[in-house]
Amino acid sequence: MELRSSLTAGALLLVLSAPAWAQPAKAPANDDCLVCHAEPSTTRGSGQPVVVQPEKYAASVHGPLACVGCHQDLAKVTEFPHPEKLAKVSCAGCHDEATSKYDLGVHARARRADPASPAATCVDCHTAHEIKPAADPTSTTYKLNLAATCARCHADAAVISRRIEAGNVPATFRDSIHGQALEKAGLVVAPSCGDCHRTHDILLKVDRQSPVHRTNVPATCGTCHAGVKQAFGASIHGVALARSMPSAPSCHTCHTAHGIRRTELEGWQLGAVEECGTCHAEALRTYRDTFHGQVQALGFARIAKCADCHTSHDIHPTEDPRSSVSSGKLVATCRQCHPSATENVLGYDPHADKRDPVRSPHVYYTAQFMNVLLAGVFTFFGLHTTLWFWRGFREQKTPAAPKQEAREDDDRGAAE
Amino acid sequence: MTTAAPPSERHYIRFGRADRLLHAGLMTSFLGLAATGLPLLFSDMPWAATLVRVFGGFIIAGTLHRFFAIVMMAVFLIHVGRIGYRVFARGEYGLLWGPGSMVPQPRDFVELYQHTRWFLGLGPRPEFDRYTYWEKFDYWAVFWGMLVIGGSGFLLWFPAAFAKVLPGWVFNVALVVHGEEALLAVGFIFTVHFFNGHLRPGKFPMDLVIFTGVVSEDEMRQERSLELARLEQEGTLASRAAPPPTPQQIRTGYLVGGLAIGIGLILVGLILYSLIGSSH
């Protein structure tokens, strides 16, 4: 209150004392604005500061521009302090391409749907008076700073609980291979939020136009991972995805979207097997019946896993000669681990199914025989043991039958 | 028959030093093989992963498994060699047939029948000679298991070498056989053999004869009265007389046997837990 009254007094003094000020239609110069706005004590009625730091503004990309260039309604104001409520600054006058893209995006849509939405506007990402070009390392939109800028809202618990199904995405992203490359290694070639989601025309992943729509993800990732994009595109998964088959996986199905980890990590490789199994449940079950799958299930990655035989991205149907498990290539595939493997490995079934007499007759009938053997032995001796225990227990509780006792006594007598 | 020692103190040799050593080797390698192999069979259970980590990872567990396999094979071959030597070089044909032989004979079926009648309270407890039918089953089960598990194990140990002559599906079959037969062997030894040999009323908690080698005359009369009578008649009983086990031997026997039974029961408990868990 004190500040405000002193401000009011100062402004009154200006208006009353100087007839020169009364001259109309002369827009205030930046220095005029800074008379009040450079002063840290200048606040709104609510107490919110309205400071513009002169040197920061001067250093910003808009530094040469006049305040009234953006705050156009102040150009004609003659009374100071000017009303608190000003017209909303429109960036569109100069940045029509960016703003028209922004208008298509999720942030603008959210604001149109709910004017009270906290969805980001231009200034939330670019700041108002300290805007730097994205290429400037001090810019909020610089490659290495962008994730932190997005995180100001997207790591905010209130925002997450209102809008974001995926939870604290910035935290997940920070730990990912991309996040670490940006934050730890300072790699500007690593992707930040904007590289996948774009910056102004950000679209929901369910939007077919979105670069993160599942059918567009390979192209998006492929801007950097061009070789993988090529291989995946030709694979059974890539072809199915291009046909929009609902069950077809895209890059993020296996790699996740934000928590992407190094594929050399043991934990990732073990998890990938389970991931394949979410669709290929039968293949996972039969794999787990083999030595490979058993060792993998025990938590050791140095054993044949799905991708070691089928490859990660070049996956083709077994009948396809391009497939690493096609009859033409299988021996070479096995030789990766078993260097002396011969043509005979073709008869080995790494997914033999002991429940399937058609696919795996040898294994099926062997398992049947073993089951009968086990059931027979355990039934017979289970019964034998139970009866013996029961009889032995009774004999111990009650003295042995008199006849037997008598005979033992006789024996003992004879022995002595 | 008169001796200075009171009846309860009189003991006779049942298992010689070599037999006891071979059993110790068999027992140790069997426990080792079971502990290092079962985790693979129940690889989806958390305890299996823990057990393998305890051994230091699956590479080390696998190496231990192969080491114990060699020990067991050695025990087996030494035993077979000894039997061969005794039969062919020393002419102990009694090992092939008769009361001193492990070979199943008609009397075993009769004794099984009589024993079952006794279980049901329909007749007296049959009298046994040196080897009972359930002991013979134990013995031949190991023989069969040695060929089946040992053979399939060697196939899986050297797949590339065997694959030069064998078709690929043999290895699918070998894994199934190795696992199922192992389950049979482990399940049988850790329940039926433990019960028949040690845990049943009258023997509980343990029969130390396999560790001390000697059995008291009282117990022999109780368990193997036909053998006692036969040896007396042959006049060879006195040559088998031995001092009773020392307290030290008894302690060692309880310790080693208790450890083996303990480990075995833990493993069989884990198997049952896993089988019950996965059937739901």
B168 closest CB neighbour out of A345, A381, A389: A345
Contact B43 A384 (CB under 8 A): no
Q: For residue A81, say if its preceding peptide bond is cis, omega within 30 degrees of 0.
A: yes
User: Which residues lie closer than 8 Å to B271 by C-beta, 6 or more apart?
Assistant: B38, B42, B183, B186, B187
**Per-residue pLDDT band at A167 (split at 50, 70, 90):** confident
B127 membership: H or E segment, kind and range: none
Residue whose token pair is 């190991």: B142
pLDDT at A399: 57
The answer on pLDDT for A390 being more than 70 is yes
Helices (H), A311-401: 330-335, 361-397
pLDDT at A25: 59
pLDDT at A40: 86
Cα maximum dimension of chain B: 68
A370 closest CB neighbour out of B2, B57, B177: B177
The stretch A301-308 carries a mean pLDDT of: 95
Listed residue (A269, A312, A275, A315) closest to A292, CA to CA: A269
Comparing A322-326, B22-26, B172-176, B210-214, the range with the smallest average pLDDT is: B210-214
pLDDT at B204: 81
A390–B contact, CB cutoff 8 A = yes
pLDDT at A413: 38
pLDDT at A42: 87
In a 13 Å sphere around the CA of B233, the CA atoms on its Cβ side amount to 6
B134–A contact, CB cutoff 8 A = yes
B147–A contact, CB cutoff 8 A = no
Round the average pLDDT of chain A to a whole number and report it: 88
Comparing A81-90, A327-336, B40-49, the range with the smallest average pLDDT is: A81-90
How far is the CA of B57 from the CAs of B32, B41, B62, B63, B71, in angstroms? 15, 16, 9, 10, 21
Tokens matching residue B49: 């992963």
pLDDT (tens digit, 9 = 90+) per residue, B224-271?
999 999 999 998 888 999 999 999 999 999 999 999 999 999 999 999
How far apart are alpha carbons B176 and B181 in whole angstroms? Answer: 8
B169 closest CB neighbour out of A347, A370, A390: A347
B272–A contact, CB cutoff 8 A = no
Contact B166 A338 (CB under 8 A): no
B7–A contact, CB cutoff 8 A = yes
Estimate the crossing angle of helix B133-157 against helix B106-119, to 10 degrees.
110
Contact A374 B187 (CB under 8 A): yes
The stretch A125-142 carries a mean pLDDT of: 95
Residue whose token pair is 């008379």: A35
The stretch B28-52 carries a mean pLDDT of: 95
Angle at A288 between CA A286 and CA A294, to 5 degrees: 150
Nearest CA in chain B to A286: B172
- Number of Cβ pairs < 8 A linking chain A and chain B: 152
pLDDT (tens digit, 9 = 90+) per residue, B106-154?
999 999 999 999 999 999 999 999 999 999 999 999 889 999 999 999 9
pLDDT at A5: 47
Listed residue (A40, A35, A46) closest to A81, CA to CA: A35
Give yes or no for a contact between A295 and A303, defined as CB atoms under 8 angstroms apart: yes
pLDDT (tens digit, 9 = 90+) per residue, A364-383?
999 999 999 999 999 999 99
A356–B contact, CB cutoff 8 A = no
Q: What are phi and psi of A121, to 5 degrees?
A: -110, -175
Helices (H), A142-225: 146-154, 157-163, 169-175, 177-183, 193-197, 217-222
The answer on pLDDT for A294 being more than 90 is yes
How far is the CA of B120 from the CAs of A234, A390, A406, B78, B204, in angstroms? 72, 9, 21, 41, 21
Share above pLDDT 90 across residues of chain A, in percent, rounded to a whole number: 71
Residue whose token pair is 């149109």: A112
The answer on pLDDT for A363 being more than 60 is yes
Residue whose token pair is 């199914």: A353
Tokens matching residue A133: 């070009």
How far apart are alpha carbons A71 and A66 in whole angstroms? Answer: 9
Comparing A95-99, B200-204, B261-265, the range with the smallest average pLDDT is: B200-204
Sign of CA dihedral A94, A100, A102, A108: positive
pLDDT at A406: 40
Tokens matching residue A346: 């073709």
Q: For residue A19, say if its preceding peptide bond is cis, omega within 30 degrees of 0.
A: no
Q: If you write DSSP's letter for every residue of A83-145 in order, what string do you get? A: PS--PPP-STTT-HHHHHHHHHSHHHHHHHH-TT-----HHHHH-SS----TTSTTSTTSTTT
A294–B contact, CB cutoff 8 A = yes
pLDDT at A403: 43
Question: B49 CA to chain A: closest CA distance, Å?
Answer: 5
pLDDT at A371: 95
Give yes or no for a contact between A140 and A127, defined as CB atoms under 8 angstroms apart: yes
B183–A contact, CB cutoff 8 A = yes
Listed residue (B220, B208, B277) closest to B46, CA to CA: B277
Instruction: Give the predicted TM-score (pTM) of the model.
Output: 0.81
**Per-residue pLDDT band at A19 (split at 50, 70, 90):** very low
pLDDT at A150: 95
pLDDT (tens digit, 9 = 90+) per residue, A29-52?
898 899 899 988 888 888 888 899
How far apart are alpha carbons A7 and A41 in whole angstroms? Answer: 9
How far apart are alpha carbons A164 and A162 in whole angstroms? Answer: 7
Contact B7 A416 (CB under 8 A): yes
User: Which residues lie closer than 8 Å to A9 by C-beta, 6 or more apart?
Assistant: none
How far is the CA of B139 from the CAs of A33, A113, B136, B145, B188, in angstroms? 103, 82, 5, 10, 12
Contact A395 B201 (CB under 8 A): yes
Comparing A163-172, A196-205, A329-338, B247-256, the range with the smallest average pLDDT is: A163-172
Give yes or no for a contact between A56 and A129, defined as CB atoms under 8 angstroms apart: yes
Residues of B in contact with A363 (CB under 8 A): 169, 172-173, 176
Question: A353 CA to chain B: closest CA distance, Å?
Answer: 9
The answer on pLDDT for A179 being more than 50 is yes
B2–A contact, CB cutoff 8 A = yes
Residues of B in contact with A291 (CB under 8 A): 40, 156, 175
pLDDT at A230: 96
Name the B residues in 53-82 with CB < 8 Å from any A CB: 53, 57-59
B58 closest CB neighbour out of A295, A378, A396: A295
